[in-house]
Amino acid sequence: MNIILLGPPGSGKGTQARHLVETRNMVQLSTGDMLRDAKSSGSELGKKVAAVMARGDLVTDDIVIGLIGERLSQTTAGGFIFDGFPRTLAQADALDNLLKSQSHDLDAVIEMRVDDDALVSRITARSTCAKCGEVYNDITKPLPVDGKCVNCASDEFTRRADDNEDSLRQRLMEYYKKTSPIIGYYYAKGLLDQVDGLGAIYEVQWAISEVLDK
């Protein structure tokens, strides 16, 4: 089954996607991760997008559509989780065409609802394992007391360049201006489900499971 996780920055898409990868054998396609990988590899693409991302602006549709298109031909038993894509109506249309051309279907779009005040505190409290990408949060999922990642035992943690208040405000603005229209788009297609993203991580996991199993 192929699904989209939709929601503003900090709504928990990445955390939930990683759980679905572990429990349902799905493949996570995160355009944010792909762009950050490009940035840290120092590729031409990475250089092009670094400043745009740090400001909190969206990178151009053709770049992210290209990145997703390259990955969709891989086979997966559990299906794909689109995380952070699509983010514009043009990307949503492009995904539709890409899926059709590979004879894949879209089974569900899960909107993770959170209020904006919660986002600011979540994001400014966020850190990530430098080695495996496990996400921690000073409030909801603090760094392990022994200083070692629960997943890979690495002791190096990083904060994202765009996880500061100014970039976050811009990311939120981009979300409301450009991404939120796709909520209506998928509602009209009969694909939209909403979950409360404000609960504990396991509560959100349950809510998503319920949607996927129905």
61 contacts 91 by C-beta, under 8 angstroms: yes
Residues 145-184, mask of contacts with Zn ion (x by CB under 5 A): ----x-xx-x------------------------------
9 near ligand ADP, judged by CB under 6 A: yes
Q: Would residue 160 show up in a list of annotated catalytic residues for this protein? A: yes
In the complex, the smallest distance separating the C-beta of residue 148 from Zn ion, rounded to whole angstroms, is 8
Q: Does 64 bind ligand ADP (CB under 6 A)?
A: yes
Q: Is-catalytic flag, 113?
A: no
Using DSSP's 3-state secondary structure scheme, residue 184 falls into helix
56 sits near ligand ADP (criterion: CB under 6 A): yes
206 CB neighbour count, 10 Å cutoff: 12
Q: What is the DSSP string of 29-93?
A: EEHHHHHHHHHHHT-HHHHHHHHHHHHTPPPPHHHHHHHHHHHTTS--SS-EEEES---SHHHHH
Draw the binding track, 127-146, toward ligand ADP (x: CB under 6 A; -: no contact): --------------------
The verdict on 32 binding ligand ADP (CB under 6 A) reads yes
The one catalytic residue in 18, 39, 122, 126 is 126
Cβ–Cβ under 8 Å, residues 93 and 119: no
What's 2's DSSP letter? -
How many residues bind ligand ADP, per CB under 6 A? 18
Rule CB under 6 A: say whether 110 interacts with ligand ADP. no
Stretch that binds Zn ion, among 22-30, 76-84, 126-134, 161-169 (CB under 5 A): 126-134
* Burial group, residue 99, by CB count within 10 angstroms (0-12, 13-18, 19+): middle
Contacts of 29 (CB under 8 A, 6+ apart): 68, 71, 80, 81, 82, 83, 85
* Residue 149 in the binding site for ligand ADP (CB under 6 A): no
Decide if residue 197 touches ligand ADP (CB under 6 A): no
| Partners of residue 158 on adjacent β-strands | 128
18 binds ligand ADP (CB under 6 A): no
Q: Shortest gap between Cβ of 146 and ligand ADP (angstroms)?
A: 27
For every residue of 127-144, DSSP letters joined together read EEETTT--EEETTTBPPP
Q: Which of 13, 18, 36, 39 is catalytic?
A: 13
Question: Mind telling me the catalytic residues?
Answer: 13, 87, 126, 160, 171
